[in-house]
Every structure is written in structure tokens, then in C-alpha cells.
Amino acid sequence: MAKVWFITGSSRGLGRSLTEAVLSKGDQVAATARKPEQLTDLVEKYPDQILPLQLDVTDNGQIRAAVEQTIQHFGKIDVLVNNAGFGITGAAEAFTDEQVRTQLETNLFAPIELTRAVLPYMRKQRSGRILQISSVGGRVGNAGLTMYQAAKFGLGGFTEALAKEVAPLGIFVTSVEPGGFRTDWAGDSMSYAPALEGYETTVDQRAEFFKGGNFVPVGDPAKAAKVMVDLAYHPEPPVHLVLGSEAVGFLQHADALRKAELEKWLPVSLSTDHDEATSFFETELGKSFLKA
């Protein structure tokens, strides 16, 4: 049976590739974008499958209205894809208040609000898939990307907790974590904080790398889109799905460093338990955490 998708940021980049893949499969899509007129060619090609909607994901009123329009038009939402977002580079202290706010509003608060808006419908139908388009930058931190990665780390944590919360309702939640893909993430979509003295060998190097067009990602958006379409139909989807060899390499390296650091500081970590305490994972609560 064909699924109904709700995709944000569907007019460009990975969102556009995914929208095309979903339509090609025969599914239906509420395709949201700031400029839905950029979807005209898809509307002409798939008039009965696509519902183009104007949506600013930082506007909670527009979010609720778009979800209701989709339900009225298609009768349900089977798959929510929180894809809309943008990157920002700079030193943490250099970002303006507006840059910090808009980054968190778009990349963290908006996916949370969209998820909250769709969940009541999925809960009632006892089924649904939610794909949060995060990043390997939500698992591995890098200089110059503090605000972007603060949002993505937050989204990953929200996803992991939510997946446990809604699993009994037949709802699956996955954090999709790509490395670099050949979209305009590091191009026209990237914004920057003013440069500051002292960050020449860290933040500035990354900013110049992006600005100089030297970042040539290995990821193919069309292949990622196919994976996500297949994921929506998989009976046991993962909570975290890393995409791309670059992302896999970054994560493997980071995991090794974290493990080594944990082991090095383990005596200090264990030294803080109360003398009369029982090991947490020997308690009923601890055992329940291990089962979750």
C-alpha cells in the first residue's frame, strides 16, 4: 500500500532528491518548502501524488496548519521527514544572538515541533515512521561548527529517547546521520560568523575550506534518497543510520577516542559513588535501562 509522506525542505538538496524518489515509487507527498513554486515541475509530472505547501518551519502556526492540510488532503501521514535545515560556521563567541537563535530554531526546535504535531495522528493509527535528518555532526564535534552541532546533537538525543517512548505504539523513529553529500550545504546554504583573532588555525581554516569550494563530498543524494525510501518500509529500522564512508570513518575514530578516554578516567568516574550505594545496574531500575 502506498504511503503518505510529509517532507520539509523538499525543494532543494537532499529533500528534493527524496521527494523525487518517493514520487517515483508511487507514494504520495506533502512537499513543504519556503518557496513551493520551485516544485512546479513535480506537480506537473505527479499531479495526483503531490501536495505542495508553503512552510516556514520556525513558525509553529504554519506547522500545525500544514499538518492539518495534509490530513485533510490525503487522510493520513505515514512518514514524517524532518529535513529542512542549514549550516553555519564560526567561533562560538563570534555568532550573533540572531545566528544562534535561528540555527537552533531551524535545526532543533522545528523538528521537535513537527514531530509533536504529527505524533497524535500516528498514535491514533498505531503506526508511523519519523526520519530526522541529522548529521554525523550530531555524533562528532568539530571546531567551527558549534551551533550547528549543538542542534544536531540535541536532535539525536531527542530521537533516541523518542524511539523508546513510541515503539509500543507502532511508531519507528530514526536519526539519519549523513556525512558530506553533494548538495549546497557547504555552498549557498552555508552562513558564517565574523572572524575573530585567535582562531586562525581552527575555525578560520574550516571557513576558508568551505568558502574556497574545496569541500567535495563523497555522498550521492540520489543514493541516500533510495536508502531512506527503503528505510520507510523496513520492518526493523535502526535508531541511528550513518550514511557515507566519510561519516563512518569519522564516527569510528571518535568512538575509539571516547572509549579510550572512558577507560583512562574510569577509576575517577567510579570513585564518586556513595559508599553505601548498590551498583546502579544491579537495581531494578538499572536492569530496565539495559532492556530498553
Read out DSSP for 58-79?
T-HHHHHHHHHHHHHHHS---E
> In the chain, what are the domains?
4-243 (3.40.50.720), 246-292 (no CATH)
pLDDT of residue 128: 98
Go through 161-188 and write b for each residue having 16 or more CB atoms within 10 A of its CB, e for each that does not.
ebbeebeeeebbbbbbbbbbbbbebbee
The set of cell numbers assigned to 136 is: 554525523
The helix or strand, by DSSP H or E, that contains position 5, with its residue range, turns out to be: strand 4-7
Q: What is the pLDDT of residues 153-162, one digit of tens each?
A: 999 999 999 9
Instruction: Please confirm, yes or no, whether 148 is among the known catalytic residues.
Output: yes
pLDDT of residue 156: 96
- Write down the residue that cell numbers 563523497 correspond to: 218
Are the C-beta atoms of residues 30 and 43 closer than 8 Å to each other?
no
Of 168, 163, 1, which is closest to residue 75 (Cα–Cα)? 1
Are the C-beta atoms of residues 154 and 108 closer than 8 Å to each other?
yes
pLDDT of residue 278: 79
Chain-wide mean pLDDT for the chain? 91
pLDDT of residue 276: 85
Q: What is the pLDDT of residues 163-208, one digit of tens each?
A: 999 999 999 999 999 986 656 555 566 788 888 999 999 998 888 8
Q: Which one of the listed residues 17, 148, 175, 199 is annotated catalytic?
A: 148
Of 242, 207, 238, 208, which is closest to residue 224 (Cα–Cα)? 242
Spatial CB neighbours of 220, under 8 Å, sequence gap ≥ 6:
181, 182
The helix or strand, by DSSP H or E, that contains position 177, with its residue range, turns out to be: strand 171-178
For the question of whether the overall pTM of this predicted structure is more than 0.95, the answer is: no
- Residues with pLDDT less than 70, the chain: 180-189, 213-217, 285, 287, 289-292
Read out DSSP for 62-123?
HHHHHHHHHHHHHS---EEEE-----EEB-TTTS-HHHHHHHHIIIIIHHHHHHHHHHHHHH
pLDDT of residue 55: 97
Q: Which one of the listed residues 134, 135, 175, 199 is annotated catalytic?
A: 134
